[in-house]
Structure 1
Amino acid sequence: MRHSPLLLLAIASLWTIASDAEPLTAVACGPHYYPPLVWADGGSLRGSCVEVAKRAFASVGVRLQFDYLGPWRRCQDLLERGEAQVAVCASHNPQRDRYLQFGSVPVAMQQVVPFVHKSQLHRVQSSADIRGLRVGLTRGGSFGNELDMLLQTGRPDYAYDARANFAKLYFRRIDLVPLNRDTGQLIIDSLGYRDTLVPAPLVLLEYPVYFAVSRHSPALLARLPGAEAFLQRRDYPAEQARLQAQEAEAFLRPPLLSATGSPH
């Protein structure tokens, strides 16, 4: 059931008052390589989803810790066991419903397209063309049941992250990489593949990503509607777009070098 913006704001206000007496700290995690939304940067996660989650949960008295805990598959295992409590920028599917309570207000909308080698652009003009092609996927990732099933009609080739998949695509070891348009383009730009790897003229899916809370965490589950009130504010779309642009710029920025010449 969706709540009205006024009700959500009222809940958030009540939780802010309560949080003065009962502050909470929670372990949060998310996809480990989906810039500009969320990615591992050294020993912690960063990205627009991370920043939004920090602000939203802080508004209801919860401090989120974003230490890097491992790839997305491990994050999901930790959430299922209750060893992590909050997932950021998570897409919904029935399997995750078993151990996560998803919010009802999207943090962001995503558009999935197939990225291909420019020389092979003619091969992917419709979703039916995916059948039999070598599809680069990330372990633990999901685009929802319908698209997941479509991608299985190809020949799945799994990698640790999208960066590895794009390297395989560049050398034509696979035929396509389905990924969020903004994320895919950022990674391609960072690898220097812009002139070789391109999105096909086909949208496979448009879908929302949400906050989600482990069902092992009743205190956080009670505060989820209040945290979502942050997403209902009139100025949130502009704030989210600004954060996403800032994080995209940060992702492409070369790492600083220490006095020894090593990145830090």
Structure 2
Amino acid sequence: MPQIRLLGLLLAALPLAAQADSPLPIAFDSGNPPAMWGEGRQVRGIHPALVNAAAQASGLAVQLQGMPWPRAMAALAEGKSCVGGAYANAERLARYQFSAAFWEERVVAVMTADAPSRELRKAEDLKPLRIGLHRGWSYGEELDRVLAQPGYQITRMTFGNRLFLALEAGKFDVVLTDGDSAVVESRRVRRPLAVRGTLSRNSTHVICPPRPTFGAALQRLDQGLQKLRDAGQLEAIVQAQLTP
């Protein structure tokens, strides 16, 4: 009888052991180059490269996947996966666990170069304009709060290239995106574009569901990130992803 009880305890512990040893699943936006892009395990870009390097430095097994950002955020909300390259806001901080900051991005306002010249430095400057936003994105706590108020003409799209094609076609007056993506996407359209202002600066993180196994993995990821930072390697990793 004791042997049967012991066997039962061992079998009950197997799923927990398998969960602890399984790679940490991290989803990234599949349509936002050079920050993160590519479907499935072909995901690449600044954020996947930084996370993968930190994981290797700490000996943490990870499974990186590219998918549309709304689907990545849904997997996070369902407790199935972490997401990488995400900004912090009050709602996310209340619900999830965060890694240390991996990088910092600028949120910029992009218009066609032939549009009437104006500087866009704060969200209130956008109110008369038709605004294109990435679906599922946070743009930082303050910018999110202001854009949620009545009076803003906002359309959200899932992939960055669609936003810029719509801007080129005159369907938007302005697109808000990160500064590196603005450079990449402006090369893909025929109509000249111009950055008219920086609206916020935000650190990027890996965000995970509130379970202990995810928390332990984030601690190891932070340790690897600190090793990269101490070795001065972060900038080189980013620049390698920005090189055409």
| Separation of aligned partners in 2, 1:67 and 1:90 | 14
Map 1:144-223; keep pairs closer than 5 Å.
144-152=140-148, 153-189=151-187, 191-193=188-190, 196-200=192-196, 202-216=197-211, 218-223=212-217
- Deviant stretches of 4+, over 6 Å: none
For structure 1, the 5+ residue unaligned runs are 1-21, 253-264
Matched residue type, 2:200: L
Q: Could you tell me how far 1:62 is from its partner in structure 2?
A: 2.6
Instruction: Give CA-to-partner distance per residue, 1:40-79, whole Å, 9 cap, x none.
Output: 25753111211221232234443211233x3111111111
- TM-score, normalised via structure 1 length: 0.75
User: Is residue 108 of structure 2 the alignment partner of residue 113 of structure 1?
Assistant: yes
Moved more, 118-127 or 70-79: 118-127
Contact 1:30 1:88 in 2 (8 A): yes
Quick one: distance in 1 between partners of 2:157 and 2:71?
14
| Unmatched segments (≥5 aa) in structure 2 | 1-19
Corresponding pairs, count: 222
Q: 1:65 aligns with which of 63, 66, 70?
A: 63
Match of 2:226 among 225, 232, 241: 232
The change in CA–CA distance for 1:54 and 1:108 in structure 2 (over 3 A counts) is same
User: Which one-letter code corresponds to 2:137 in the other structure?
Assistant: G
Structure 1 contact 114–177 (Cα < 8 Å) conserved: yes
Identity, in percent, stands at 21
Structure 1 residue 234: Cα displacement: 6.6
Per the alignment, residue 130 of structure 1 pairs with 126
**Structure 1 position 117, deviation (Å):** 0.8
Residue correspondence of structure 1 range 23-42 to structure 2 within 5 A = 23-41=21-39
Q: Say if 1:115 and 1:177, in contact at 8 Å, map to a contact too.
A: yes
Separation of aligned partners in 1, 2:233 and 2:155: 37
Name the TM-score, length of structure 2 as normaliser. Answer: 0.81
Change (3 A) 1:179 1:124: same
RMSD: 2.3
Asked whether the equivalents of residues 54 and 228 of structure 2 are also in contact (C-alpha less than 8 Å), the reply is no
Structure 1: how far apart are the matches of 2:213 and 2:59? 11
Greater C-alpha Rg: 2
Cα–Cα, structure 1 residues 29 and 107, in superposed 2: closer, same or farther, change >3 Å?
same
Separation in 2, partners of 1:236, 1:140: 33
2:10 matched residue in structure 1: none
Matched, 1:102 2:85: no
